[in-house]
């Protein structure tokens, strides 16, 4: 399973999302890619005000907040 987190530095919501993702990853194995949108002008334009954004297998799963229970449920499907 592949999970992507779109985030940028100095984003407290992004830091919380990373914590949730790591906690869940200790229970359910998945590949995590963290993408810094500040390094890509196109991503920054598209997601600049919507971060953090989490994609699971290429599909948007969460925006702003990552619910740990819902994430676990989605990954177990």
Domain harbouring 14, CATH code: 3.40.30.10
Q: Give the whole-angstrom CA distance, residue 55 versus residue 6.
A: 8
Query: What mean pLDDT, rounded, does the chain reach?
Result: 96
**Phi and psi dihedrals of 63, rounded to 5?**
-140, 135
Q: Give the whole-angstrom CA distance, residue 55 versus residue 20.
A: 14
Beta-sheet strand order (sheet of 2-7): 31-36, 2-7, 53-56, 59-63
pLDDT score recorded for residue 44: 95
Percent of the chain with pLDDT over 70: 100
Structural domain boundaries enclosing 28: 2-76
Mean pLDDT value of segment 58-65: 96
Residue 77 has pLDDT above 90, yes or no: no
Residue 34 has pLDDT above 90, yes or no: yes
Residue 31 has pLDDT above 90, yes or no: yes
- Judge whether 1 and 30 are in contact, CB under 8 Å: yes
Number of domains observed in the structure of the chain: 1
pLDDT score recorded for residue 76: 87
Residue 9 CB-density burial (10 A; 0-12 exposed, 13-18 middle, 19+ buried): exposed
């Amino acid at each position: 399973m592949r999970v992507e987190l779109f985030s940028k530095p100095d984003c407290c919501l992004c830091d919380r999302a990373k914590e949730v993702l790591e906690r869940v990853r200790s229970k359910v194995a998945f590949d995590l890619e963290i993408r810094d949108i500040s390094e890509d002008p196109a991503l920054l334009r598209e997601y600049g005000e919507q971060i953090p954004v989490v994609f699971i297998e290429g599909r948007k799963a969460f925006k702003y907040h990552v619910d740990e229970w819902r994430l676990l449920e989605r990954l177990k499907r």
